[in-house]
Amino acid sequence: MPYHEFECSKCIPERKQHAVIKGPGEQLTDALPQGYLNTIPGTISERGCAYCGAKHVIGTPMKDVIHLSHGPVGCTYDTWQTKRYLSDNDNFQLKYTFASDMKEKHVVFGAEGMLKQNIIEAFKAFPHIKRMTIYQTCATALIGDDLHAVAQEVMDELPDVDIFVCNSPGFRGPSQSGGHHTICIAWFKEKVGTFEPVREGEYIINYVGEYNIQGDQYIMEDFFERMGITVNSTFTGNGSYDDLRAMHRAHLNVLECARSSEYLCNELRVKYGIPRLDIDGFGFKPLGDSLKKVALFFGIEDRAQKIIDEETARWQPELDWYKARLQDKKVCLWPGGSKLWHWAHCIHEEMGVKVVSVYTKFGHQGDMEKGIARVEEGALAIDDPNELEGLEAMETLQPDIIFTGKRPGEVAKKIRVPYLNAHGYHNGPWKGWEGWVRFARDIYNAIYSPMHKLSKLDISKDEIPTTIGFETQRMLSDVNLSDEIKNNKELREYTGKWDCTRDLIKKPAPRSDEPQLAIAA
């Protein structure tokens, strides 16, 4: 069997089925780790919860909305924007986060009255915002607060506002992907079809599964406009609440992140007959093929080809320059969701880097299928790794760089492996032809950074002592072990093992002008 067992996880034998090494000639069914299952107790998973998937990933990129979490303030603070979801309304959704700030007394007596008061206060504080989303958390789901009833009561009193309720407690599903499903289906059932837009254009699309990380949506929207295509709504990066209520009026759903938003596209196809096309905004060839696919649907292939020719001629020489310098550099591709397979093949083919590992924390079997199919033999695929497994993988594979989130990235830096933020980017946007070159530049800068090379130098055994002349050294020069240590065999043996500990518990001789204090050992 192709399963890979981590040394650090031998005490949890179930983990063996969650990692595989892609062997020669193996079929996907032979090389698939188990995924999207309940977290194994004791593994110390780093997954996000369903509430995080609903609010942080999908909900809050909506730009003209008060996003209010009904629960403890910690849930809200943990999902305050770190992914740089930009918008053209002065980034309102990035600047502010809202919480009902639930306390213990609300768990006992209920928090519906407090929630209503908070909703009204939020609308009064920002009178130009007339839309709100309320997110349920574990605490309020457990006590049974009726968020829909409270929201309806407010809308009856304030007829110019509209409120969407997402019942997305953290325990709803194995990971944050459960929250993706929850908010997509809730939005479709409660809000799609409740607003009629005034929209002109021969070709109208919904751009779905795009979150405008550092301006990705702006790049893709420009390509669509150059092709004569009108973007009816973007779900949800730089997306307007009312535009997203009008998703039923598009001719085509163009889907970017299938893992987070395919549920919505499938429902729109069933009820309104809107077709779905999956695209990829990353990489020269995948992006070009995607634009041609959308153009083919509307019969305007020549417009897409013109963009492809112009952009490729402008940016191919720069990409080739980076590819020559990144050839055969090893990368651990640990981005989490759909970027696992969006990037796996094209960073190898177009940048020359070798993918030695892929992982996902919340992806489904389909994500692993596509990801493993696009990497080379010998790549290590992991489902829901913890910190120890990540460290062991990096020490074994010795990658030149990893693409991952901030938490695993900071761990990688501690063992001198540079990382790029696959979730929020370093210097984005990374979509489009120029964005792909910008991505290559970020990889090059990370690998060849002189500062990173300096981090690998060990100066602890420098020939020049670093303690000479310091006041602390003088203070410690004339000290004796306390009588307590001398008379305590166990403590004396302990301090003999650690010189630094022994120094810390030594006490200097007191000056004659200061009081004599008893110092505990």
Q: Which residue has the tokens 């409270």?
A: 150
Q: Which CATH superfamily groups domain 50-190?
A: Nitrogenase molybdenum iron protein domain (3.40.50.1980)
State pLDDT tens for residues 195-209.
Answer: 999 888 999 999 999
Edge-to-edge strands, sheet with 276-278: 229-236, 203-210, 252-255, 276-278
Position 320 pLDDT exceeds 80: yes
Q: Enumerate the domain spans of the chain.
A: 7-32+327-424, 50-190, 203-308, 460-521
Q: Is the pLDDT of residue 502 over 60?
A: no
Helices within 299-385 (DSSP H only): 301-326, 339-343, 346-351, 365-373
pLDDT tier for residue 250 given thresholds of 50, 70 and 90: very high
207 CA to centre of own chain = 20
Q: Which pLDDT score is estimated for 478?
A: 47
Expressed in percent and rounded to 5, the helix, strand and coil fractions of the chain are: 50, 15, 40
DSSP letter at 33 equals: P
State the pLDDT at residue 402.
96
Q: Give me the pLDDT at residue 491, please.
A: 44
Judge: domain 7-32+327-424, CATH 3.40.50.1980: yes
**Residue 369, pLDDT above cutoff 90:** no
Beta strand ranges found along 158-239 (DSSP E): 162-166, 203-210, 229-236
- Residue 248 and residue 245: Cα distance in Å, rounded? 8
DSSP-derived 3-state class of residue 136: strand
Tokens representing residue 53 in the block: 């998937």
CATH architecture of 203-308: 3-Layer(aba) Sandwich (3.40)
Compute the average pLDDT of residues 273-292.
97
Identical fold between 7-32+327-424 and 203-308: yes
Q: Once rounded to an integer, what is the mean pLDDT over residues 396-407? A: 93
- The pLDDT value recorded for residue 494 is 43
pLDDT-derived band of residue 269, with 50, 70 and 90 as boundaries?
very high
> φ and ψ at 76, to 5 degrees?
-65, -45
DSSP SS3 for 182? helix
Q: Which two tokens stand for residue 290?
A: 């995607």
What percentage of the chain reaches a pLDDT higher than 90? 71
Pairing of strands 98-99, 66-70: parallel
